[in-house]
Structure 1
Amino acid sequence: MSRFPIYLDSHATTPVDPRVFDEMKPYFIEKFGNASSLDHSYGYDASIAVQQSREVIARTIGANMDDIFFTSGATESDNLALIGVMEKNKSKGNHLITCVTEHKAILDTARHLESIGYKVTFLQVDEFGLIDLEKLKNSITNETVLISIMFANNEIGTIANVSEIGKLAHEHNVLFHTDAAQAVGHIPIDVKKLNIDLMSFSSHKIYGPKGIGALYVRGIFPRVKISPLVFGGGQERALRSGTLNVPGIVGFAKAIEISQQELEQENIKFKKWTDSMLEKLSLVGAKLNGHPEKRLPHNLNVRFDGIDGKAIINSVSKKLAISAGSACTTQFVEPSHVLLALGLTEDQAHSSIRIGCGRFNTDEEIGIAADEIYSCVKSLAKIHV
């Protein structure tokens, strides 16, 4: 039997996998040492756990162990990447290139940099959410230090042409950062093959604990230099001071390891689910937002023109947990900046909903969800006639 409401908001967060929780438990109660306190076995055991976790995470994304720096999550990693790189590389230039559909963690950081004198170019996207590589190329100047483009969009699931963007950046001696919070654990990633210099990612999007994330910083070819934002005890090779969240780090590593092992199988299942829901919902006028093919398999962002998305969400809330978009902006009534950037009107943006399938959903739950939304839209359409 399904438990209500059925959770279908996996882009916002995911439940901790019981296997991850089991891995973390000893580091709360028995192996609770501070990883920086190496004068006794408690601290030493914690330090070993951190290093082993760092190795697992690095291996999963094709990085070297020393390229992984732990943070509180992707938002902090984004801040550290953008501000840290621009600050450290002032002698090269003061220009950053990003995109209008980025997460607020990138957009707000970019605007902060603008406010203190840096130059920022915000690239537009096409109707599917992809940037034009030619426009990107034409935006690069002698002052350009960094390009930051999201790997997979958190609202519409569109997957960027990451490898080509990174290649273009390197051809112009520019660094490339990507916010991969929605991609890691869902898409096979090799940072070296994909020409990525810095990458932000997070644990709680892949069935790990909240409050822990990482920033990958390329160590060689090129060696990326970055200034710290947090000062203190010199942890994380003085790039991010503060007592390490050992249980979180251990859980993060276990979560990414499981996600890597189950990625292919899960994506087949997710695609089947999102395809079946889109087929059913198209019968009541659903239109897909984002790219029809280059998209996260577990993402379904659709609009029902003439029907308010929030009305749908509220109507089905006893049985389904779905959202209107980013978890960081849902308290505001403004239309999604991502959907507007695709060329949608404000009304069309307000008529959209986001469904995010997850590991613990079932075929039965997906069927119930499609039926509930279908019936709800049909009822609301009659009211609007």
Structure 2
Amino acid sequence: MIVLWVLVTVGAAVAAYGAGSVRRGKRDRLELDAVRAALTAQAEQRERDIEELRSERASRLAGAQQEQSRNNHRLRRRAREAIDESGAVITERLQDVVEQVGAAREAATATHGRVATTSRAAAVMVSRARSADASATKLNASLHQVAGIAGVIGEIASQTRMLALNATIEAARAGAAGKGFAVVADEVKSLATTTAESTEQIAATVAALEADVAEMGGTLTAIIGGVAEIEQAMGLLGGIADNQHRIVERLNSTVGATMEQIQDLSEVAERLERRRNERTAANGPVTVQVAGRSPVQGQLIDVSADGLGCLLPRGAAVSVGDRVTVTVGLSGATFEAGADVVRRADRTNGSELGLHLTSVPAAAQRQIESYVAA
């Protein structure tokens, strides 16, 4: 613009000079040369001023970029330190939880074992008590039989006493001839009396035994009922122990998953710290291919000296940790490089990937650095 203005001004001056009188002579030419020189000097000064402004602006912009880079680096470092400190505290507390979970698991296992042992002992006790109850029932029946036999013996003894009494009466009637018979009758009477007394004692003993057996049967029945309640309680306690064991296992699994997530968070922080190169917005075609799979077409989002971001169709078969070959179109040129997938975020318009370049040809590296520095 300044050069054009100078040319127009000079042209106008020349035209004015040509239109004027030739009689102005050498004086007018000198004045015109002076004007032209002044205008040229003014234009050159303006060019120098503009160049200084451009240089100052570029210097300020470079300084601002450097300051922004330093600020970003400090922020990433602080973010990693905060993540590491938080992760360390959480990991320490989770480690305590893991130890408590282990103790709870051992306690639940021990409780389950004791419950199982008690249940088996209770089952054995019930079996023995039922066997004893059956034996008592049989004994009671046998005692009833003994009581019946004792009753029969008692009746026989009573009849024997009656016969002995009749024999004594008949011996008394016979006088001297019946003395020997009277002695025998007395012996029979004495034996009958002794038998009757023994029979009564047997009956009393059998009755007492029957009462004891009945009481023992009631006690055994109560024991069986009590043991059955113990078995039921042990069953409930065993169920509680099983539930506790399952809860502990789920808690242990949850704690393990949480610790893995904390480890993943630490890895993210480490990747954040490693990302020292600023990303620059970019646009161009991208092809991402995992070995053994079909290539996926996408769009370039940004690029840095050691990585790039791209957007692939949603549901693309590319996962974090995959090693890929990426073909990138950047500034009218195309290059191919090896990369690792370090980030994936599924969005409504597709799947956004973050790639860390691991194998880049020298020409491609220069192309990337030139684009980022532009």
TM-score of the two chains, using structure 2 as the length reference: 0.18
Which one has a larger percent helix, Structure 1 or Structure 2? 2
Specify the structure having the higher radius of gyration (Cα): 2
